[in-house]
Structure 1
Amino acid sequence: MAKQKKQPRPKAITPKGFRDYFGHEVTERTEMLQTIAGVYHRYGFDALESSAVETVEALGKFLPDVDRPNEGVFAWQEDDSDWVALRYDLTAPLARVYAQYRNDLPTPYRRYAMGPVWRNEKPGPGRYRQFYQCDADTVGAPSVAADAEICAMLADTLEAVGISRGDYVVRVNNRKVLNGVLENVFGTIEAGEQNIVKSNPTGEEKKQAVLRTIDKFDKVGEAGVRELLGKGRLDQSGAYIDGVGLSEEQAAPVIAFLTSKEADAEATLANLRQAVGESVVGAVGVRELEQIASLLLAQGYGPDRIVIDPSVVRGLGYYTGPVFEAELTFEITDEKGRPRQFGSVAGGGRYDDLVKRFTGQAVPATGVSIGVDRLLAALREKGRITSHEQGPVVVTVMDRDRMADYQSMVAELRNAGIRAEVYLGNPKNFGNQLKYADKRNSPVAIIQGSDEAERGVVQIKDLILGAQIAENATLEEWKERPSQFEVARADMIAKVREIIEAHS
Structure 2
Amino acid sequence: MTENTDTSADNAGEFRPEARSPRGFADKRAHEIAIERRLIANVSKVYEDFGFEALQTPAFEYADALGKFLPDADRPNVGVFAQQDDDEQWMALRYDHTAPLARFASQNWDGLPKPFRRYAFGPVWRNEKPGPGRLREFMQCDADTVGTDRPEADAEIIALAVAGFKANDLPTVLKINNRKLLNGLLSSLGVSTPAQQLGVLRAIDKLDRLGLEGVQLLLGAGRKDESGDFTKGAGLNDAAAAAVLSFVAAGRTSEGTQADRTTVLNNLAAVLDNSPEGQAGLEDLSRISTALNGLGVDESQAIFDPSIVRGLEYYTGPVFEAELLLETRDEKGRPVAFGSVGGGGRYDDLVARFTGQQVPATGFSFGVSRLAAALALAETGAIKPVRGPVVIIAFSESDMGDYFKLAAEIRAAGIPAEVYLGRSGMKAQMKYADRRFSPAAVMLGGDELANGTVTIKDLDLGRELASQISDNKEWREGRPGQVTLPRSEAIAHLRKITQTA
**TM-score, normalised via structure 1 length:** 0.89
**Partner Cα separation in structure 2 for residue 60 and residue 276 of structure 1:** 32
Alignment-mate amino acid for residue 365 of structure 1:
A
Instruction: In structure 2, give the amino acid aligned to 1:251.
Output: A
Which amino acid letter does the alignment assign opposite residue 59 of structure 1? L
In the TM superposition, residue 259 of structure 1 has moved relative to its aligned partner by: 1.1
% same residue: 49
- Name 1:176's counterpart in structure 2: 180
Q: Distance in 2 between matches of 1:151 and 1:142?
A: 15
The change in CA–CA distance for 1:340 and 1:422 in structure 2 (over 3 A counts) is closer
Equivalent residue runs for 1:147-166 within 5 Å: 147-163=154-170
1:126 aligns with: 133
| 366-375 or 458-467, larger mean C-alpha shift | 458-467
CA contact (8 A) 2:392 2:419 kept: yes
* TM-aligned CA deviation for residue 16 of structure 1: 0.9
Once superposed, what is the RMSD of the aligned Cα atoms? 2.6
Amino acid at match of 1:314: R
Separation in 1 of the partners of 2:227 and 2:11? Answer: 56
User: Are residues 334 and 209 of structure 1, via their aligned partners in 2, closer, same or farther at CA, if it must alter by over 3 Å?
Assistant: farther
> What's 2:79 paired with?
72
Aligned-partner Cα distance in 1 for 2:227–2:45: 46
Specify which of 85, 92, 96 is matched with residue 89 of structure 1.
Answer: 96
> Are residue 255 (structure 1) and residue 245 (structure 2) matched?
yes
SS at match of 2:313: coil
- State which of 211, 217, 222 in structure 1 corresponds to 2:201: 211
Instruction: From 19, 25, 50, give the equivalent of 1:12.
Output: 19
> Which of 211, 216, 221 in structure 2 is aligned with 1:226?
216
Q: Following the alignment from structure 2 to structure 1, what is the Cα–Cα distance between the partners of residues 87 and 13? A: 34
CA distance in 1, matches of 2:31, 2:331: 24
Q: 1:229 to 1:336 in 2, by over 3 A?
A: farther
**Partner of residue 50, structure 1:** 57
Aligned amino acid, residue 122 of structure 1: K
**Alignment of 1:430 onto 2:430:** no
Partner residue in 1 for 2:261: 265
The amino acid that maps onto 2:449 is A
Q: Distance in 1 between matches of 2:467 and 2:331?
A: 31
Name 2:362's counterpart in structure 1: 366
Q: Does residue 415 of the first structure (1) align with residue 419 of the second (2)?
A: no
Matched, 1:393 2:390: yes
Distance 2:328 2:423 in 1: 46
State the alpha-carbon separation in 1 of the partners of residues 288 and 127 from structure 2: 36
Match of 1:190 in 2: none
CA displacement at 1:242 relative to structure 2: 1.4
Secondary structure at the counterpart of residue 324 of structure 1: strand
Per the alignment, residue 33 of structure 1 pairs with 40
Q: How many residue pairs align between the two structures?
A: 481
* Partner Cα separation in structure 2 for residue 253 and residue 351 of structure 1: 27
C-alpha distance in 2 between matches for 1:334 and 1:286: 40
**Is contact 2:77–2:127 with CA below 8 Å preserved after alignment?**
no
Offset at 1:83?
1.6
After superposition, the Cα gap between the structure-2 partners of 1:403 and 1:329, relative to the gap in structure 1 and judged at 3 Å, is closer
| Mapped pair 1:444 → 2:403 | no
Query: In 2 relative to 1, CA 329–68 (structure 1 residues): closer, same or farther, beyond 3 Å?
Result: farther
**Equivalent pair of 1:392/1:420 in contact (CA under 8 Å):** yes
Contact between 1:45 and 1:111, CA under 8 Å: does it hold in 2? yes
> Residue type matched to 1:172 in 2?
I
Give the CA deviation at 1:48. 0.9
One-letter code aligned to 1:173: N
Q: Which stretches in structure 1 are left out of the alignment for 5+ residues?
A: 188-195, 197-202
Compute the displacement of 1:75 (Å).
1.7
Partner SS, residue 459 of structure 1: strand
- Specify the SS of the correspondent of 1:259: helix
Comparing 390-399 with 324-333, which one deviates more in the overlay? 324-333
Q: Please tell me whether residue 482 in structure 1 is matched to residue 480 in structure 2.
A: yes
* Contact map agreement 2:377 2:383 (CA 8 A) in 1: no
> For 1:291-302, what aligned pairs fall within 5 Å after superposition?
291-302=287-298
Secondary structure in 1 aligned to 2:414? Answer: coil
Cα shift at 1:68 = 7.6
C-alpha contact 1:61 1:68 (8 A) present in aligned 2: no
Structure 2 unmatched runs, 5+: 1-9, 253-258
Compared CA separation, residues 82 and 393, structure 1 to 2 (3 A): same
Say which of 320, 325, 338 aligns to 1:324.
Answer: 320
Aligned to 1:405: 402
* Contact residue 329 and residue 379 of structure 2 kept, 8 A: no
SS of the residue corresponding to residue 103 of structure 1 reads: helix
Letter of the 1:61 counterpart: K
SS at match of 2:364: strand
TM-score (norm 2): 0.89
Q: Residue by residue, what CA displacement relative to the aligned partner does 1:194-250 show, whole Å, maximum 9, x if unpaired?
A: xx5xxxxxx212222222222222221211111111111122443211112222233
Q: Is 1:230–1:245's contact at 8 Å kept on the other side of the alignment?
A: yes
8 Å Cα contact 1:60-1:69 kept in structure 2: no
TM-superposed deviation, 1:404: 2.1
